[in-house]
Each structure stands twice: as C-alpha cells, then as structure tokens.
A = this chain, B = another copy of it.
Amino acid sequence: MSNLNELSLKAVSHLIQSGTVQPRELVSDCIARIELCEEELKAFTTFDPERVFDQLTEVERQGNKSALFGVPVGIKDIMETAGMRTTMGSKIYRDYVPQRDAVCVSALKTAGALVAGKTETTEFAYYYPGRTRNPHAPDHTPGGSSMGSAAAVSRMMIPLALGTQTAGSVIRPAAYCGVTGYKASHGSFSLAGVCGFAQNLDTLGFFVRKVEDLTTVRHTLSGAPAEILPLSGRIRAALVKTPHWEMADASQQQLIEDVCRHLQGHQIEISEIDVGPSDGALTQAQITIMGYEGCRSLSAEYANFSHLLSDQIKALIEQGQQTTHTAYLEAIKLGNIWQKKMRSVFKDYDVLITPSAPGEAPQGLDSTGDPIFNRVWTLLKVPCIHLPVAFGPNGLPLGVQLIGAFNQDDRLIRAAHQIQEVLAEFEFVPN
C-alpha cells in the first residue's frame, strides 16, 4: 500500500504530472481508504468505486492530462452531477439524478479530475444534520453543512472536496474536522447548478490538506495564478476578537492568543483591532438576509412538500416569511457599508486572525454547531481560510480563521501559507 491518498493535492498532482505516479495508483489508494473508513465515517451520500474507475478510463482515453488529471475529488451533494444522484440532503430529492453537471463540477472534470462521490450535506445546506461523524471522535459533530467534504479530506480519503458557505458551512466543518478550509470572495466562482440558498451570501469553498493546494484549485476554476507568489515584506496581521469573543471556549481563546504570540516571535506583526459595530448588528444582518432569501429559494418545496422538510428548515422559512422587505434591504445595505469600510482595514493589515468556531467540535450528532464566528465574514463577502493548528483539551482539532480583503484571495493565501509554515513549529499546551 503506497498511501498516495495521504498526499496533498499539490504533491500528488505533481507526481502524476511528472509521470512518477500513475493516477490509477492514487485512485486505488483513495478507494481503499474510503472502503476502510466509510462505514464508520459516513462522509459520502453516494459512492460507487466502479464509476470512479470508469471516469479514470475515460479521462485516460481522452488523453486529458490537465492539472487535476486522475485526482478523485469529493462533491458536496447540493452540487448537480450528471448521471449521479444529487439529494440536497433532503428527502424530497432522495432519488434526483441530474442530467448536467454544475459549472464547478464540469470545470474540475475538464481539468481531468474524477468525481469520487457525493459528500454528505445537511438538508439544503442548512442545519438539519446529515449522517457524517467527526473523523476524530465519532460521537461528535463534524460541523455543517459541508460535513462530508470536510470529513473525507480529514480522514485522508481524498485530497480535495468542494463545499459551499452561506453562514459558516465551510470554515466550521474545516475547524471541527481539522482540515484546511477556504471560502472564496463572494462572486469568485459560478454557482450555476448548485442548489441556491441565499444569493447574496452563497459562496464556493474547498477543503484541502495544505494552503498551497488552494492555488491549484483556484487556477483550475477561475484562472487565478497557479503558484503562490513570494511575499514582499513582513506580514501585518490583526487579531479581531469580534463581539462574540465570550462565546469562544477558554481553549479556543487561548489558542488564538498563543498563536498570535508565536507569530509575533516570527517576523509577523500583530495588532488587535475591532471590526464592525460592537452590538453584533452585522451578525443579525446575515441572519436576516439568510432567512429572507432562503425562504424564497425554498418556497416551492415548502408549498408542496412541507411534510418532507425538517422542523429546523421550516422554522427558518417561517422566520424569513415574517421579515419585511424593508428590514431585508436594510440588512443588505448595512453589509454594503461595512464591505466598503473593510477596504480601509486592509490598507493597514494583510490578514485578520479570528476564531473559526467557538472551540472543539461539540458532542452529539443532532446539531452541527454554531456559525457565530463565520456569519459576519460571509456577509462581508471576504475570503476566509481555516488553518488547523493543534488539538484541544478533548483531543479534537482547534485552529484559527484568517480573513483577507475582498477579491484579494491570492494575497490572503500568501499570508496563510507563511503563517502555516511558521506554525509548523508551534506547540499548544492548553491551560
């Protein structure tokens, strides 16, 4: 067993591109790993090893040796896949098999990637949990909504999986599963063929092993540079505790502060700043928009299949129906005002450091945890990266969230890459 499944996307693509490794070896290793762990982990809603090999045969036949040649990837089950069931995590779509691929899926395929399977999602990417368990402790949540994608990458099943974020659906599961997660700047990628929830918030994201893997995917999907450019000068970082700091566990708080101290000792400037009003109005604006747009995205399901919806999503829809159009527009406007103000923040800082989640993954599978530390950044349309850093007092992953300037995702990735390197030597001793 060669364990190619354990390599990062960039490392394994490089080995394939140089001819050192045959894609068939990688696919075999990934499938063996999925077959070993899936019964316990339940990362996949749909997984069929034969179809993965069939895709590989087809890609080989086409001679398509693009950047992701032969790489198996996980696709969140709200993204349409031609000929492959796409359930949206909902009983309504239990047997729905689309005929077309979502644009993000077809772009990966065009680059030579193989759909390893459809990864588990909460119902319509909202809160009602899917079956996935936390890869580090099966009775803890993996987070949501992109739960299967985060768990599969964490458990070394696949080197890349796609997710989406409307509140905290990429960064939170990345944190709870201990993998690198990235939510792009809003509008960076087409969401055509992805089940929409809230058009002013929904954004694509990726789960990978290493920060440098992100550039490979961004290059494939959006033509961004394929390599991380060298940084000029010292990184200027700012700790942002947010109005919700007291909702973070002591260990999460300590980790962030210890990380900042460590970075300061390694040529990274650290300040502490506030962003946004102190009363949590931005968090409330995100909640307002999500409910208002979400209830309209799901209006047909609510009207026709209410009996197949969870109580959670019905409550959200009904909350959205109660919200006035004026309150909704006010929420959008507040977001716009602060999106603009963020530009000046990023004149002084390259990156913000803030919690990804309140702490380690909570026990229990009935809830996917709280996106309280993610809502504002999604509202502000800025790129976010979760960097796994250490393990907390319960032996579950902890990490930090890094925030960049809108549409300066490459600058954020450069900073995150350097921070990742500096933190390789970091040791965390919870108090």
Contact = CB atoms under 8 A, between A and B. Distances in A.
A126 interface: no
Contacts of A324: 223
B100 A99 contact: no
B190 A297 contact: yes
A223 B325 contact: yes
B190 A110 contact: no
Interface stretch (A193-201, A239-247, A355-363): A193-201
A193 B300 CA distance: 13
A190 B106 contact: no
Nearest to A340: B340
Nearest to A408: B329
B223 A199 contact: no
A189 interface: yes
A333 B343 CA distance: 11
Interface string A177-202: 00000000001011111111001100
A96 interface: yes
A292 interface: yes
Contact of A407 (B195, B224, B303, B333): B333
B224 A106 contact: no
A98 interface: yes
A303 B407 CA distance: 27
A325 B103 contact: no
Contacts of A407: 329, 332-333
A101 B190 CA distance: 19
A106 B299 contact: yes
A161 to B, nearest CB: 20
Interface string A377-419: 0000000000000000000000000000001000000000000
Given A187-B199, A189-B199, A191-B196, A96 B100 contact: yes
* A-side interface size class: 35 or more
A189 B194 CA distance: 15
* A194, A222, A225: most-surrounded residue (chain B CB, <10 A): A222
A218 B332 CA distance: 17
Interface in A149-203: 187, 189-196, 199-200
- Among A109, A195, A300, the most chain B Cβ lie within 10 Å of the Cβ of A300
A6 interface: no
B96 A296 contact: no
Interface in A287-304: 292-293, 296-297, 299-300, 303-304
Contacts of A199: 187, 189-192
A172 B297 CA distance: 28
A328 interface: yes
Interface in A318-332: 324-325, 328-329, 332
A110 B299 contact: yes
A107 interface: yes
Nearest to A99: B96
Contacts of A103: 196, 296-297, 299-300
A221 interface: yes
A195 B192 contact: yes
A239 to B, nearest CB: 27
A301 to B, nearest CB: 8
Given A96-B100, A325-B224, A296 B200 contact: no
Nearest to A301: B106
Given A195-B192, A199-B189, A407-B329, A223 B107 contact: no
Contacts of A109: 300
Interface in A124-163: none
Nearest to A326: B225
Contacts of A193: 196
Nearest to A106: B300
Given A103-B297, A190-B199, A192-B194, 5 more contacts: A103-B296, A107-B296, A187-B200, A187-B332, A223-B328
